Amino acid sequence: MRLAKWHTAMLLKRGNGSWFERIAMLLMLAGLCVMILLPLFSLFSKAVTDKQGEYNGLENFIDYFSTPALLSSLQHTVYVSALTAILSVVLGFLFAFALTRTNVPGKMFFKTVSLLMLFAPTMMLGIGLTYLFGNQGLVTTGFFDALPFHWDIGLYGPTGIVMAEVMYTFPQACLILVVSLSFADFNLYEAAKTMGAGKGRIFFTITLPNMKYGLISSFFVCFTLAFTDFGAPQVVGGSYNVLATEIYKQVIGQQNMGMGATVGIILTLPAILAFIVDRFITSRQHAISARAVPYRISPSRKRDGFFLAFCIASSGMILLLIGTVFAASVIKIWPYNLSLSLKHYDFSKVAGGSLQPFWTSLRMSAWTAVIGTAVTFAGAYLIEKTKTLPVLRQAGYFLSILPLALPGIVLGLSYIFFFNKASNPMHGIYGTIWILVLANIAHFYSVAFVTATSALKKLDREIETASDSLGVPRYKTLLRVTLPLCLPAVLEMAMYFFINSMVTVSAVMFLYAADLKLASVSIVNMEDAGDIAPAAAMSTLIVMTNIGVRLLYEAVTHQIKKRTQAWQTREQ
Amino acid sequence: MKKWVGTALTTVLIISALTACGGNKNNTNAQQGANGNKAAAEANAELTVYTALEDDQIQTYLESYKAAHPNVKVNIVRDSTGVITAKLLAEKDNPVADVVWGTAATSLLVLDQNNMLEGYSPKGIENIQPEFKDKQEPAHWVGIDAWETAFAVNTAELKKKGLEIPKSYADLIKPEYKGLIVMPNPASSGTGFLTVNGLQQLMGDSDAWSYLDKLDQNIAVYTESGSKPAKMAGTGEYPIGISFGYRAIQEKKGGAPVEVVFPAEGSGWDVEANALMKKDNIKPEAKEFLDWAISEEPMKKYNENYAILAMKTDSSVIPEGYSKDPISQLVKLDLNKAAETRDATLAEWSKRYEAKSEKK
């Protein structure tokens, strides 16, 4: 989600900021260093130490590349991620095309459904697939022998991982591609038509070239997400090992931190590459002619029919998966006793322990939303509204978007190494809820930062100038003008922090203390212990909560927009 | 001038945001200090207990402890045997755990070999049978019960496939069970380790490995936990799970079409035991916890789940689902030897079968 949103936000970026503020800037830089840079240094130094903590140079890397079982995890991950990225981009393209270039009915519905997966932890996708295509799955058993056929797709292994990852990355690809498909100049299409170009030719010479950056970017986003995901392979990977599960095994199973750090660095490489490619692309994608005319959709029943079928099929798959997980969570003993029961929502007898992890998750996510939004907005305000000391500003900007390139697992590991050192003055937050909040803020910082930045950029610089000349203090302007005007963006940031903190596993799974188990982590634990139905129940709770928060957000924004933003007719 | 007001405000904003974490940190530090330094008045004592006991057992077991020590906050860290062992070993220089409870004796022996356990003979140790406790005085570990290999077999699924219920290890390597069996990875699971070790001491080292090679041909996946194979058998995901007695019986009790099979050749086994961690500030509560852990109340509770108790008693009830004489089902084995060869066994195992193991 963060990469996709990041890309979207970058496409919409415009304008420039103004004033300077020395101490706050330095403080912000220091904060970002503690949150991001220093932990990363600990990770790098850990990668060059052995199990006993002695320096051993590149030994770990040599070890890694000479152990067949470890090396195979790299090959597996590359294969699975590439396949996922190709499938997701193709499917995402078709879906985005249907939404932007056809007259398919029910676009709002399809769009909403395609985004549902963003509210679910990735383990849930794996669990859903298990119930559909596992050895006792609905499809595998032909709806418990109700259908005349059985269909065993051999879920466990690369098939299952790719299926889950495609479902997970599909909305991301859609988000990016919808934006790039909507940047079109209809003049070009008309000209081509006048010159007698056929549909195929127009597609290959105008549509595709126009969105090539979007395609490349979505490919990298999907690749990176699949490359670093832990939840889905953990559930449906079977004996097919990938990098993320390999780190888990090294760190949790064998407590081999050095090797965990080593694999972590390998895990970061494609993300960094994606980051560079994305920066390069966004720096080029601004050129859209001011005289461009929006695309006008020509009527075509054949085309609409095809895309409607496609939209129904893909939305159907998403709804089926979520529905299956909901159903499995209230079925007594799948598949032998299909009567309904809420017993799987009693977590006291399984690895979850109780409903406590869910409450802890709520608490953590709420704190992350509140503190994260405040910190990120302040950071964006400083960088956006200052103009002297460009070096510091640039550094601050770079640090603010750096977390985009950091997989959650890597961030989580870095935090153990950095904060668990007794010599660290902030050692005290280790084992408390605050380290989880901090890790989440760092993990999701960049997208929220860009949201805040683009909201601030939309405001006229004259506001500050005007208040200065009227003798109104800056803080009053901030509180009375800037903040209220940015309220929709602030709410969006808070929602983004909240939802992602609810579903994330990767950054927090190494950091939570015994009495602070989280809902998402408890899903992993329950799945590990074979308690699949309670894991489905916990997933259901998380999805429901997130949908609730999203609806609340929509309602509140709707109210605010109606009341305060009437003057701002320009589309965001 | 005005600018600086704005500056100040923004600064305050950021500082307060950043120290939202910091402020609490001080709190925690204070708490930790209190716990660590002056082995606190029982008032707000905190005890960190590492355990590999089953999640569904822990809370019931703890009831009588909580009744007797309402003011001690018990932090339970639970994970599979191998994970707990690895965690304890990793924290060797700076142990977090105060006591280890209900964790494989073979693992505790490894810790002891690393000089990580403090000798302490809890009250009532004389009631524990000699083979279930450390020979040293004071004892470095004390057992509470024993658990053993059992197969959970899904009868409904085997019936569909027209297959017999396997009764022995020898049955498991028959070609018709190919891809139907799930077994725990001994590196992470205590049940996995006691099963492999049981085979080693039953058949001798080289025969055991060649048996495991053949078994590997039939294994669909190696799981991280020892419970999961039984649970998978329960849902029929994979019809045969090599697991342990308690879990297999629980699945059956829960209503799954599961038959519990104790292998004809004999079951591998291990003792679930407790120990005191060697550290600078050993809390009196830690010792009290160990006293409680082998007292009558919890022993009764252990006995509801496990047929074989560490306590000497003539009236130990054989729980439902067990064969009449669970002790005669056990392979004769030497736990010390198992602990000594643990590293080598696990290394050999992962060399041979790691590729097929579930992550972790």
Q: Which of A474, A490, A518 is the last residue of a domain?
A: A518
Please tell me what DSSP assigns to residue A299. Answer: P
User: What residue of A is the nearest CA neighbor of B74?
Assistant: A515
Does residue A202 fall inside a structural domain?
A: yes
Q: How far apart are CA A6 and CA A451, in angstroms?
A: 8
Whole-number pLDDT of residue B295: 93
Q: How far apart are CA A456 and CA A16, in angstroms?
A: 9
CB B275 within 8 A of CB B141: yes
Does residue A357 fall inside a structural domain?
A: yes
Provide the sign of the torsion angle of the four alpha carbons A374, A377, A380, A386, taken in this order: negative
Q: How far apart are CA B93 and CA B217, in angstroms?
A: 41
State the CATH number of the domain containing residue A209: 1.10.3720.10
Q: Report how far Cα A439 is from the mean position of its chain's Cα atoms.
A: 15
Average confidence score pLDDT of chain B = 85
Whole-number pLDDT of residue A114: 92
List helix spans (H) across A472-512: 474-477, 483-485, 487-503
- β-bridge partners, B260: B152
What is the ipTM score, two decimals?
0.80
Q: Which residues of A553-572 are buried (b: 16+ CB within 10 A; e: fewer)?
A: beeebeeeeeeeeeeeeeee
Interface test with B, best of A349, A389, A423, A424 (most B CBs within 10 A): A349
Let me know the angle formed at the C-alpha of B219 by B233 and B305, rounded to the nearest 5 degrees: 40
pLDDT digits (tens, 9 = 90+) for A104-151: 999 999 999 999 999 999 999 999 999 999 998 989 888 888 888 788
N-term to C-term CA, chain B: 60
**What are B156's two structure tokens?**
């409904």
Does residue A542 fall inside a structural domain?
A: no
- Yes or no, beta carbons of A426 and B22 under 8 Å apart: yes
Higher pLDDT, A389 or B65: B65
Please say if the pLDDT value at position B88 is more than 60: yes
CB A244 within 8 A of CB A231: no
Return the axis-axis angle of helices A38-47 and A257-282, rounded to nearest 10°. 130
Q: Which residues of A458-478 are buried (b: 16+ CB within 10 A; e: fewer)?
A: bbeeeebeebbeeeebbbebb
How does residue B11 score in pLDDT terms, banded at 50, 70 and 90? very low
Does residue A108 fall inside a structural domain?
A: yes
Does residue A214 fall inside a structural domain?
A: yes
Smallest Cα distance from B251 to chain A, Å: 10
pLDDT digits (tens, 9 = 90+) for A139-153: 988 888 888 878 888
Chain A residues whose CB is inside 8 A of the B25 CB are: 426, 428-429, 432, 434
Residues B151 and B207 in one domain: yes
Smallest Cα distance from B184 to chain A, Å: 11
Residues A394 and A449 in one domain: yes
- Yes or no, beta carbons of A253 and B224 under 8 Å apart: yes
How does residue A253 score in pLDDT terms, banded at 50, 70 and 90? confident
- Yes or no, beta carbons of B10 and A257 under 8 Å apart: no
Q: Residue B29 is nearest to which of A234, A254, A428, comparing CB atoms? A: A428
Q: How far apart are CA B250 and CA B258, in angstroms?
A: 10
CB A126 within 8 A of CB A208: no
Residues A142 and A112 in one domain: yes
For chain A, state the CA radius of gyration: 24
Q: Which residues of B257-294 are buried (b: 16+ CB within 10 A; e: fewer)?
A: bbebbbbebbbbbbbbbbbbbbbeebbebbbbbbebbb
Does residue B10 fall inside a structural domain?
A: no
Q: Residue A474 is nearest to which of B2, B87, B221, comparing CB atoms? A: B2
Does residue B29 fall inside a structural domain?
A: no
pLDDT digits (tens, 9 = 90+) for B288-301: 999 999 999 999 89
Whole-number pLDDT of residue A275: 82
**What are A270's two structure tokens?**
């494609």
- Yes or no, beta carbons of A530 and B227 under 8 Å apart: yes
Query: What range defines the domain where residue B254 resides?
Result: 147-269+335-356
Omega within 30 of 0 (cis) for the link into A335:
yes
- Yes or no, beta carbons of A378 and B10 under 8 Å apart: yes
Q: How far apart are CA A404 and CA A4, in angstroms?
A: 10
> Can you tell me which residue has the tokens 């039984």?
B230
Does residue A153 fall inside a structural domain?
A: yes
Does residue B231 fall inside a structural domain?
A: yes
Which has the closest alpha carbon to A264: A412, A388, A481, A374? A412
Q: CA distances (Å), A504 to each of A24, A256, A397, A524, in order?
A: 31, 23, 25, 11
Q: Could you give the number of structural domains in chain B?
A: 2
Does residue B39 fall inside a structural domain?
A: no
Q: Which residues of A32-63 are buried (b: 16+ CB within 10 A; e: fewer)?
A: bebbbebbbebbeebbbbbeeeeebeebbbee
CB B303 within 8 A of CB B62: no
Strands (E), A133-238: none
Residues B156 and B260 in one domain: yes
Which has the closest alpha carbon to A513: B186, B144, B120, B48? B48
User: What residue of B is the nearest CA neighbor of A516?
Assistant: B75
Mean pLDDT, range A385-414, rounded to an integer: 85
CA atoms within 13 A on the CB side of A455: 25
Residues A7 and A78 in one domain: no
Smallest Cα distance from A281 to chain B, Å: 32
Residues A112 and A180 in one domain: yes
Residues B142 and B289 in one domain: yes
**What are A201's two structure tokens?**
């030719």
Whole-number pLDDT of residue B20: 42
- Residue B70, SS3? coil
CB B310 within 8 A of CB B132: yes
Does residue A563 fall inside a structural domain?
A: no
Does residue B257 fall inside a structural domain?
A: yes
Mean pLDDT, range A382-391, rounded to an integer: 77
Give pTM, 2 decimals. Answer: 0.84
How does residue A288 score in pLDDT terms, banded at 50, 70 and 90? low
- β-bridge partners, A238: none
Does residue A141 fall inside a structural domain?
A: yes
Whole-number pLDDT of residue A13: 41
Whole-number pLDDT of residue B163: 96
Q: Which of A316, A335, A363 is the last residue of a domain?
A: A316
Which has the closest alpha carbon to A560: A462, A478, A483, A460? A483
Q: How far apart are CA A302 and CA A364, in angstroms?
A: 50
Q: Residue B237 is nearest to which of A136, A248, A473, comparing CB atoms? A: A136
Whole-number pLDDT of residue B19: 41
Average confidence score pLDDT of chain A = 87
Chain A residues whose CB is inside 8 A of the B94 CB are: 422
Chain A residues whose CB is inside 8 A of the B56 CB are: 349-350
CB A294 within 8 A of CB A186: yes
- Yes or no, beta carbons of A255 and B188 under 8 Å apart: no
Residues A36 and A97 in one domain: no
- β-bridge partners, B259: B153
Tally DSSP H helices, then E strands, for chain B: 13, 11
Does residue B263 fall inside a structural domain?
A: yes
Chain A residues whose CB is inside 8 A of the B76 CB are: 514
Please say if the pLDDT value at position A12 is more than 50: no
Please say if the pLDDT value at position A7 is more than 60: no
Rounded (10°) CA dihedral A139, A140, A141, A146? 30
Mean pLDDT, range B220-230, rounded to an integer: 92
Counted across chains A and B, CB pairs separated by less than 8 A come out at 184
- Yes or no, beta carbons of B235 and A528 under 8 Å apart: no
Residues B56 and B69 in one domain: yes
**What are A494's two structure tokens?**
């808070």
Residues B301 and B197 in one domain: no
pLDDT digits (tens, 9 = 90+) for B91-147: 888 888 999 999 999 999 999 988 999 999 999 999 998 889 999 889 999 999 999
Residues A100 and A214 in one domain: yes
CB B346 within 8 A of CB B83: no
Q: Could you give the number of structural domains in chain A?
A: 2
- Yes or no, beta carbons of B187 and A254 under 8 Å apart: yes
Higher pLDDT, B270 or A53: B270
Q: Residue B21 is nearest to which of A27, A28, A437, comparing CB atoms? A: A437
CB within 8 Å of B226: residues ≥ 6 apart: B80, B81, B184, B189, B190, B191, B192, B243, B244, B247
Q: How far apart are CA B79 and CA B76, in angstroms?
A: 10
SS (H, E, C) A7-63: HHHHHCCCCCCCCCCHHHHHHHHHHHHHHHHHHHHHHHHHHCECCCCCECCCHHHHH
- Yes or no, beta carbons of B235 and A532 under 8 Å apart: yes
User: What residue of A is the nearest CA neighbor of B2?
Assistant: A473
- Yes or no, beta carbons of A255 and B89 under 8 Å apart: yes
Which has the closest alpha carbon to B7: A24, A228, A338, A118? A24
Residues B240 and B345 in one domain: yes
Return the axis-axis angle of helices A301-329 and A122-133, rounded to nearest 10°. 90
Residues B261 and B349 in one domain: yes
> Can you tell me which residue has the tokens 């004892």?
B139
Q: How far apart are CA A471 and CA A138, in angstroms?
A: 70
- Residue B117, SS3? strand
- Lowest average pLDDT, out of A2-11, B47-56, B203-212, B321-330, goes to A2-11
Chain A residues whose CB is inside 8 A of the B228 CB are: 528-530
- Which amino acid is residue A443, in one-letter code? H
Residues B131 and B238 in one domain: no
N-term to C-term CA, chain A: 19
Q: How far apart are CA B84 and CA B67, in angstroms?
A: 27
State the CATH number of the domain containing residue B217: 3.40.190.10
pLDDT digits (tens, 9 = 90+) for B299-353: 989 988 888 888 876 655 667 777 667 888 899 999 999 999 998 999 899 888 8
Whole-number pLDDT of residue A9: 52
Query: What range defines the domain where residue A166 resides?
Result: 58-316
Residues B70 and B108 in one domain: yes
Residues B257 and B276 in one domain: no
Q: How far apart are CA A72 and CA A284, in angstroms?
A: 37
Residues B119 and B63 in one domain: yes
Q: How far apart are CA A245 and CA A232, in angstroms?
A: 10
Whole-number pLDDT of residue A3: 59
CB within 8 Å of A302: residues ≥ 6 apart: none
Does residue B278 fall inside a structural domain?
A: yes
Whole-number pLDDT of residue A572: 44
Residues B212 and B313 in one domain: no
pLDDT digits (tens, 9 = 90+) for B26-56: 343 434 433 444 334 455 788 999 999 988 7
The count of other CB atoms within 10 Å of the CB of residue A485 is 19
Please say if the pLDDT value at position A332 is more than 50: yes
Does residue B18 fall inside a structural domain?
A: no
Whole-number pLDDT of residue B38: 38
